[in-house]
Structure 1
Amino acid sequence: MRQHLVPPASIRHRRSRNLGLVGVGALALLALTGCKGDVAHGWLPYGATTGADRVSSLWVGMWIAAWAVGALVWGLIIYCMVRFRRRKGDVGLPEQLRYNVPIEVLYTIVPIMMVGVIFFFTERDQSALLDVSQKPDVTVNVVGKQWSWDFNYVEGQVWDSGVQAQLTGKEGVQNTLPTLVLPENQRVEFVLTARDVIHSFWVPAFQQKLDMIPGQVNRFQVTTRDRGTFQGKCAELCGAYHATMLFNVKVVSNEEYQAHLQRLRDAGQTGMLDNSLSRAGLEPGQKIEQQYVPNAKASN
């Protein structure tokens, strides 16, 4: 009678663990292939502004450096596991060393140098992305409020106001969101103010965001380059309905942009909406300081 050999429990456990790791790796690859983006840009969301190229370059460069360091560390670990493994005939523990000065200097100095390099490139790109020294073609005062957005088109002297999104789970909800309209191939400056608590203006396709702090005016500029409709949201936890603080950004031709401003004028939405601190519950007539006053004459 032929005898069937059953692998020991330790071998069966090792095989099941390896199969599990292979399964996790396969799922990870499937998830990555389903992401919007491509490997050249580190699978980041589509970049709809010229500044997005700078962001993706920094992102990919840091990942390359991280993988290189990881490969070196894992290579050294595996080398030590193989080179200094216990062999047949070994008795007791190997020779114990208290320290190795060259190695300790190496793993202290090299990480400091790596952090310095990362800091340099991050500061360089951050300074470029937050540079507002150039004169913008379009200025929009974005006002964050619980839980929606107001848009003051400064040069056009018109405004648009949004209300909290009602996420019903049905189709068509996106069409009810407040929509910020911008012209293509134009430098746009966002002047960010908050009406009540801290918010954060984030359009993932712009690959850039900035906090909106009550009593403080923050600015950044982007140069649009492609037409399309992109999603925006608040990226700072701002209360119970933070998840419904959504909006659209529509990049259109200059003719369509001017037509949009005219529609707002025809609707009587001229002047600038007040963007001062005005939480619900303020007493009638209570004086509040306006955060941002555009150079152009404004009326409320």
Structure 2
Amino acid sequence: MALLLASVTACSGEEWARGGMPHNVTEQSERVLSLWQGSWVAALATGAVVWGLILYACIFHRKRRRKGAPENELPPQVRYNLPIEILYTAVPIVMVAVFFYFTARDQDYLFEKTDKPDVTVTVEALQWSWRFTTEYQGKTVQVVGVPVSDYRQGPQLVLPSGGKTVRFKLESDNVIHSFWVPAFLFKLDVIPGVHNQFDIKTLNHTGTFAGRCAELCGQDHSRMLFNVKLVEPSKFEQYINSQAARSTQ
């Protein structure tokens, strides 16, 4: 109870409703949040039933000494109750099957790709920072970072908000990393020789959001920080045009 109260006091009402998850800024993250909340509801309901059965057994089936019975007499032993055995075998199978269905369904949705994304970002994981190469309407902008102690000082990836589709292509030529933006409610490993990709569709949110490597990758893993800045589409076009013009000078 103390741990529960301490956890509750650390969250606002909105955060509590999200199960402690960060603000989600993509269309796909809405599905992840829904799966997370549904899993918690199912887990809490299962826990309530299990604890209820345990308390019921403790209270109503505790050892009672019959009048005149010897002290070492055991209570009646119940074995081989076939209906109960079928029940506690079938119910977990059904629960796992339901969890598997929703997880597999949402995983397929998260990895769906559009034929023509609005923006393409090649993410190259370095030791220990990131190189972002953004392609938009035939123009290319590249940002390279260095290890930092604050994500706001790391390389900044600028993306458009307002329902734009962004494709991420993950590359590494050294060790395994993991590309993680908590506000996406999603992360994916960056593996040498494996060309992982995923699409997101941004919501109408603007702001700067933290990003980091989520796979232990060496000495400066903890400093492999970056940030994602979501701006309005018109400001994104201005950013791309100004950075592309500067690179040609």
Is this a same-fold pair by TM over 0.5?
yes
State how 1:60-79 maps to structure 2 within 5 Å: 60-79=37-56
Specify every segment of 5 or more residues in structure 1 that has no aligned partner in the other structure, as ranges. Answer: 1-21, 168-172, 271-300
Instruction: Report the number of matched residues.
Output: 241
Deviations 1:197-255 (A, max 9, x none): 11111000010111111111111111111111000000111111111000010000122
Residue type of the partner of 2:217? C
Deviations 1:100-127 (A, max 9, x none): 1111111111101100000000000110
Residue type of the partner of 1:200? S
Instruction: Give RMSD over aligned pairs.
Output: 1.9
Question: Counterpart of 2:247 in 1: which secondary structure?
Answer: coil
Higher relative contact order (CA 8 A, sep 6+): 2
Q: How far has the Cα of 1:25 moved from its partner?
A: 4.0
Residue type of the partner of 2:57? C
Matched, 1:107 2:84: no
Q: How far has the Cα of 1:96 moved from its partner?
A: 1.9
Question: Counterpart of 1:239 in 2: which secondary structure?
Answer: coil
Whether contact under 8 Å (2:63, 2:75) holds in the other structure is no
Larger of the two Rg values belongs to structure: 1
Whether contact under 8 Å (1:182, 1:251) holds in the other structure is yes
Matched, 1:27 2:10: no
For residue 187 of structure 1, what is the aligned residue in structure 2?
A: 165
Q: Aligned equivalents of 2:188 and 2:227: distance in 1? A: 17
For residue 136 of structure 1, what is the aligned residue in structure 2?
A: 117
Q: How far has the Cα of 1:258 moved from its partner?
A: 1.8
For residue 213 of structure 2, what is the aligned residue in structure 1?
A: 234
Q: Aligned equivalents of 1:181 and 1:240: distance in 2? A: 27
Q: 1:63 to 1:174 in 2, by over 3 A?
A: closer
Q: Aligned equivalents of 1:100 and 1:60: distance in 2? A: 35
Whether contact under 8 Å (2:147, 2:223) holds in the other structure is yes
State how 1:1-300 maps to structure 2 within 5 Å: 22-31=1-10, 33=11, 37-87=14-64, 89=66, 91=69, 92-155=73-136, 156-165=139-148, 167=149, 173-185=150-162, 186-225=164-203, 226-268=205-247
- Structure with more strand by fraction: 2
Question: Counterpart of 1:216 in 2: which secondary structure?
Answer: coil
Deviations 1:148-196 (A, max 9, x none): 000111232231111111x2xxxxx444210000011211111111121
Specify every segment of 5 or more residues in structure 2 that has no aligned partner in the other structure, as ranges. Answer: none
Report the TM-score, using the length of structure 1 for normalisation. Answer: 0.75
Question: Counterpart of 1:99 in 2: which secondary structure?
Answer: coil
